[in-house]
Amino acid sequence: METVAIHTVVKMMETLPESTQNRVVDLVRDYLADLEDEDEWDELFAATQSQLQDFARRAHREIEEGKAEPMDYDRL
């Protein structure tokens, strides 16, 4: 399925030298891979949202009960 936007990009690409076309293709390929990674992370976070909320509630409760201490970044 070729949309108007894709057709426009193809026409623009055809005016570029082959080396530039290859660079653009590499950039688009990397960009699409990044988008897929982001989608994967979004799915993982959505699947574990209730767990994350439970951990946050537990941490908040432990802070209120004095069972937690501030992070000492010098000890990391």
The two three-digit tokens of residue 2, written as one number = 């070729």
pLDDT of 69 reads: 86
Helix (H, G, I), strand (E, B) or coil at 55: helix
pLDDT in tens, the chain (76 residues): 789 999 999 999 999 999 999 999 999 999 999 999 999 999 998 999 999 999 999 999 999 999 988 888 998 8
pLDDT of 40 reads: 96
Q: Are 13 and 21 in contact (CB under 8 A)?
A: yes
Domain map (residue ranges) of the chain:
29-66
pLDDT of 75 reads: 87
The position carrying tokens 């989608």 is: 39
